[in-house]
Chains A and B, each alone.
Chain A
Amino acid sequence: MNLGTRKVLDRSFTSLGIGSIVVMALALLVVITPIVYNGLGAVFFQGTIEHRKLLQDEFHRGDKAQLEREIEESGRYRMEAYRMLGEFEAELEGMDPVKARQYRMQLGPVKTALQGLLGPIPGEEPGILTRFRYGQTRWEKAEEKLHELLYESKWDYSDPNVMAKEYFVRRAESFEGTSLLPLFSYVEQNAEKMLLPRFTAYWGFLFDKSVDAHIFGGIWPEIQGTFFLAIGAMLFAFPLGVVAAIYFTEYAKDNLFTSMLRSANSTLAGVPSIVFGLFGLAFFINTLKVSESKSVLAGALTLAIMILPTIIRAAEEAILSVPKTYKEASLGLGSTKWNTIVTVILPAALPGIITGGVISLGRAAGETAPIIFTAAVSVGSAIGLADVLSSPTPALSWNIYNLASEHEMASEIRHVQYGMVLALVSIVLLLNLSAVLLRARITKKLKG
């Protein structure tokens, strides 16, 4: 091969390599940016007075005196709106019944939207769920509700060849000539004064329980459940995996049985995680009956089985990468095999073993399928450490899916979904980062 061709080949490989990394980085950026942006929105947002009321009622947090002042201040503007509503309802009483019925039908959505915006209308019985007892806690949501109040959504079916199009009609038009008409422009102009939005850093999103199935409150039960499951899985898998790796590298003879064990291990690493989930249900819960039904214990055991092959592989490679000369030196000094493993080989292999362990920990934290049948519940409160043997737990990975697809108000709580995703990504990244740092520290200590 001549020099020119060689150079062209070298350059093209370099540029291909750099290119593929750039593409990956861009793709990551495209995924990560909205997650970070929207996820941070769960903590930092324009919080309305309704948010502060909720915090006071549910968690007894915030300045009570100031809140009362704010309630009074916003109450004045609200009273005006409610007065208009009352006036119109009185007007309806004296109206022609047919017309009144028509107006009443149109008034229904207006009241619902007003309730959604400001909370229950005085004099009316609010629903029993928390979501009916507060208005919009976030200003951007309030703006959506305001739009809903001002405009009626209609669908244009005129052209049968295209999909129906949504268009909006001002509700005010329907109430032309009634006493309700001024309400719309009044609320539009004074919404801010009724809700008093203010920049809020709601750290409780990370440390609070959820209120009314994540419509309000935080995600602490999920975060805690994720930690319980991941750490529980490690408690089982890490010691077992290291012992298995020691067996494979130091004790196993080169025979059919060992190679069968090895290929079984490799195969296990490739089994889809949902299969592990089913296995966990069938084996740990139905057969061994480690718990009555779903529990953190059963989930941790299932996750442990799933990450075991990875831990074994990582530990095996770490042990094999320890220079043979260390072993010879130790044995040459009259050390037993066991002593050599414990005092020389394992310490030297520790960086690799720990890296493998922490990466598996991150994987256990992020897996969904294995815990669906064994540990996860959609809505639940944080459980105590004493309950891990018998109680199921909410967990980030499962609840991200659940909130996004099965929650009745999924489209209303996007910020919670993004917040959970960001929390999970951060936890996994933090774990991996700590693995890198730990590894660097131990390696430095070994190198002197």
Chain B
Amino acid sequence: MQTTVEEKETSMQTPAKTATRDIYLPSERKSVAGGGTPHVVAKDFSIFYGDFEAVKKVNADILSKYVTAIIGPSGCGKSTFLRAINRMNDLIPSCHTTGTLRFDGEDIYGKLTDEVLLRKKIGMVFQKPNPFPKSIFDNIAYGPRLHGMTDKKHLMEIVEKSLRKAALWDEVSDRLDKNALGLSGGQQQRLCVARTLAVEPEILLLDEPTSALDPKATAKIEDLIQELRGSYTIMIVTHNMQQASRVSDYTMFFYEGTLVEHATTPQLFTNPKDRMTEDYITGRFS
């Protein structure tokens, strides 16, 4: 993995340079087999709401199969950037972009790009748990059914597999036909993760997934992220710096729409290059 990151040295400023440092890979954070290739690449990528530039000329490589956290004060554009990756911002009519954002080399905002196919490969979990008002089974099976699967037995397998991956199977296996809105907030959020996993995405975007949850449910989601690390490229937007340091391999710090610093998590939190980053992580502003 290290060699792969070395190769990226030119395109990425900080993570590559520090990739070999001990601090980057503490004993509990193993490198990931087959990971570390640039999965999402932003080049001079800007996002506008009307005339307002919410994200300004971001250049970044998001490495595959690792967890990248995005932190920054409210309104810094971190969620906007995340939602740009699977084109959820399309829902906002005034939103448009400049520069390029590539996923596996394909231009996400290209004229010929099918955003529906794109979203199948780049799944998203939202701030507030948002299960459909349907049964647990139907929630998980929603994606596979959309993409043409009708075989009940096969669907059941997918539902079980996804729920197991999301560490929810043991809690709900006996009431799959019950309405998902009857679950607790933490369970609902894990259900949303399972629902996303059922479509077999390559990237998992998590937009402040624990901000509506209590500490216990938050811990479960964080454990889940650790479980999924190595199988999916994960990007998580969070307000909670402890969370970012706990779950992520890389961290991006946004401030007023600008990507201020992008480095391995240990480096960003212990030895930030930028004065602004230091002020933020030490709590001088938020």
The residues of A with any CB-CB pair to B shorter than 8 Å are: 253-254, 323, 325-336, 339, 343-344, 347-348, 445-448
Of all chain B residues, the one with the shortest Cβ separation from A253 is: B93
Chain A residues near B196 (CB-CB < 8 A): 332-333
- B32 is an interface residue with CB less than 8 A from chain A: no
Chain A residues near B182 (CB-CB < 8 A): 448
Q: Point out the residue from B116, B128, B180 that lies within 8 Å of A335, measured CB to CB.
A: B116
Bound CA span A254–B50, Å? 14
Please, what's the 1-or-0 string for B176-211, where 1 marks a CB less than 8 Å from any CB in chain A? 001111100000000010011001000000000000
Chain A residues near B121 (CB-CB < 8 A): 334
Tell whether, in the assembled complex, residue B181 and residue A448 are in contact, meaning their CB atoms are under 8 Å apart.
yes
- B112 is an interface residue with CB less than 8 A from chain A: no
Of all chain B residues, the one with the shortest Cβ separation from A325 is: B130
Of all chain B residues, the one with the shortest Cβ separation from A443 is: B133
Known contacts: A329-B192, A332-B126. The answer to whether A344 contacts B132 by CB under 8 A is: yes
Tell whether, in the assembled complex, residue A329 and residue B147 are in contact, meaning their CB atoms are under 8 Å apart.
no
Bound CA span A332–B123, Å? 6
Bound CA span A331–B143, Å? 10
Q: Point out the residue from B93, B123, B126, B133 that lies within 8 Å of A446, measured CB to CB.
A: B133
Of all chain B residues, the one with the shortest Cβ separation from A348 is: B133
- 9 examples of A-B residue contacts, CB within 8 angstroms: A327-B91, A329-B126, A329-B130, A329-B131, A329-B195, A331-B91, A334-B117, A334-B146, A343-B142
- B70 is an interface residue with CB less than 8 A from chain A: no
Tell whether, in the assembled complex, residue B130 and residue A328 are in contact, meaning their CB atoms are under 8 Å apart.
yes
Of all chain B residues, the one with the shortest Cβ separation from A340 is: B146
Bound CA span A332–B199, Å? 10
Q: Point out the residue from B133, B135, B143, B178 that lies within 8 Å of A333, measured CB to CB.
A: B143
Of all chain A residues, the one with the shortest Cβ separation from B87 is: A331
Tell whether, in the assembled complex, residue A447 and residue B91 are in contact, meaning their CB atoms are under 8 Å apart.
no
Of all chain B residues, the one with the shortest Cβ separation from A333 is: B143
Known contacts: A253-B93, A333-B146, A344-B132. The answer to whether A328 contacts B120 by CB under 8 A is: no
Chain A residues near B179 (CB-CB < 8 A): 445-448
Tell whether, in the assembled complex, residue A334 and residue B91 are in contact, meaning their CB atoms are under 8 Å apart.
no
Tell whether, in the assembled complex, residue A334 and residue B180 are in contact, meaning their CB atoms are under 8 Å apart.
no
Bound CA span A334–B120, Å? 4
Known contacts: A334-B146, A334-B147. The answer to whether A329 contacts B132 by CB under 8 A is: yes
Chain B residues near A329 (CB-CB < 8 A): 126, 130-132, 192, 195
- Beyond A332-B196, A333-B119, A333-B199, list 13 extra A-B contacts (CB 8 Å): A323-B130, A325-B130, A326-B132, A327-B91, A328-B88, A329-B130, A329-B195, A333-B123, A334-B116, A339-B146, A348-B133, A446-B181, A447-B133
- B264 is an interface residue with CB less than 8 A from chain A: no
- B248 is an interface residue with CB less than 8 A from chain A: no
Bound CA span A284–B49, Å? 48
Q: How far is the CB of B118 from chain A (nearest CB, A)?
A: 8
Q: How far is the CB of A328 from chain B (nearest CB, A)?
A: 6
Q: How far is the CB of B127 from chain A (nearest CB, A)?
A: 9
Tell whether, in the assembled complex, residue B88 and residue A331 are in contact, meaning their CB atoms are under 8 Å apart.
yes
Among A325, A332, A343, A447: residue with most chain B CB under 10 A: A332
Tell whether, in the assembled complex, residue B142 and residue A330 are in contact, meaning their CB atoms are under 8 Å apart.
yes
Tell whether, in the assembled complex, residue A328 and residue B91 are in contact, meaning their CB atoms are under 8 Å apart.
yes
Chain B residues near A333 (CB-CB < 8 A): 119-120, 123, 142-143, 146, 195-196, 199
Bound CA span A331–B131, Å? 13
Chain A residues near B59 (CB-CB < 8 A): none
Of all chain A residues, the one with the shortest Cβ separation from B86 is: A332
Chain B residues near A334 (CB-CB < 8 A): 116-121, 143, 146-147, 199
Bound CA span A101–B132, Å? 92
Known contacts: A332-B88, A332-B196, A333-B146. The answer to whether A447 contacts B181 by CB under 8 A is: yes
Q: Which of B142-181 contact A (CB under 8 A)?
A: 142-143, 146-147, 178-181
Tell whether, in the assembled complex, residue A335 and residue B146 are in contact, meaning their CB atoms are under 8 Å apart.
yes
In the A-B complex, the 5 residue pairs with the smallest Cβ-Cβ separation, listed nearest first, are: A448-B179, A334-B120, A325-B130, A446-B133, A332-B124
Known contacts: A330-B142, A334-B147. The answer to whether A448 contacts B178 by CB under 8 A is: yes
Bound CA span A271–B216, Å? 58
Chain A residues near B146 (CB-CB < 8 A): 333-335, 339, 343
Chain A residues near B147 (CB-CB < 8 A): 334
Bound CA span A326–B126, Å? 10
Chain B residues near A347 (CB-CB < 8 A): 133
Bound CA span A56–B117, Å? 74
Chain A residues near B123 (CB-CB < 8 A): 332-333
Known contacts: A333-B143, A333-B146, A448-B182. The answer to whether A328 contacts B126 by CB under 8 A is: yes
